Amino acid sequence: MEEENKKTTQKPNDGFKPISTGKDGDFQRRPRKFGGPRRFEKDDFETKLLDLARVTRVTGGGKRMKFRAVVVAGDRKSKIGIGIDKGKDVSQAIEKATARAKKSLINIVIVKGTIPHQVEAKYGPARIILKPQRTGRGLVAGGAVRAICDLAGIKNVSSKILSGSKNKLNNARATMEALKKLKAR
């Protein structure tokens, strides 16, 4: 009689398979295939803050202030990305921009520590030129171009900002356009 009661009180199998966590008797649910627990791995990307600006939006009720951050992320092994985002405070803006930079990574061509050929690019009013250099010359660049080339892993390159633009964001975007144009010989 008791055996019949046990059979009737058992729940139908809902796909739960207990797996051991290593300790005797402790079980946990198996992670789902698609919406399972997030696993955070330490990535090997370095980030650099290029620009931080306070932006205001004027409304009928007054001024709303936010912060805009421009962040470059790279692994010094030919992967580089740029992220721009806004937040209510500085730390939130930097965090969001860093996440966006890691999502927008591109691979660039590096040959013996330099770029394979000369390249020129324009983004808005900003124009830049990148030239390959022999080994030992170093990174001859300034501003946003230097930060991007450094985080991308380019060791020997010469650059010139041809426009009079001092805008770091436009210069950074022009540099990214130039790096996208690189092709291996």
Provide the percentage of residues in the chain whose pLDDT is more than 70.
77
Helices and strands counted in the chain (H then E): 4, 10
Residue 46's pLDDT band (cuts 50, 70, 90): very high
Other beta carbons within 10 angstroms of residue 181's beta carbon come to: 14
Name the average pLDDT for the chain: 86
Please name the amino acid found at residue 101: A
Residue 30's pLDDT band (cuts 50, 70, 90): low
pLDDT tens per residue across span 50-95? 999 999 999 999 999 999 999 999 999 999 999 999 999 999 999 9
Which residue blocks in 22-166 are alpha helix, DSSP H? 90-103, 143-152
- Domain definitions of the chain by residue range: 46-106, 109-180
Angle at 61 between CA 55 and CA 63, to 5 degrees: 15
Q: Could you give the dihedral angle defined by the CA atoms of residues 107, 109, 115 and 117, in that order, rounded to the nearest 10 degrees? A: -120
Can you tell me the mean pLDDT for 32-38? 57
| CATH of the domain spanning 46-106 | 3.30.160.20
pTM of the predicted model as reported, rounded to 2 decimal places: 0.75
Structure confidence at residue 35 (pLDDT) = 58
Residue 29's pLDDT band (cuts 50, 70, 90): low
pLDDT: which is higher, 33 or 54: 54
The correct CATH number of 109-180 out of 3.40.50.720, 3.30.230.10, 3.10.180.10, 1.20.58.1690 is 3.30.230.10
pLDDT: which is higher, 67 or 41: 67
Please name the amino acid found at residue 134: R
Structure confidence at residue 37 (pLDDT) = 55
pLDDT higher than threshold 70 for residue 167:
yes
pLDDT tens per residue across span 81-136? 999 999 999 999 999 999 999 999 999 999 999 999 999 999 999 999 999 999 99
Structure confidence at residue 27 (pLDDT) = 53
Q: Nearest-CA neighbor of 152 among 79, 101, 103?
A: 79
Which residue blocks in the chain are alpha helix, DSSP H? 2-9, 90-103, 143-152, 168-180
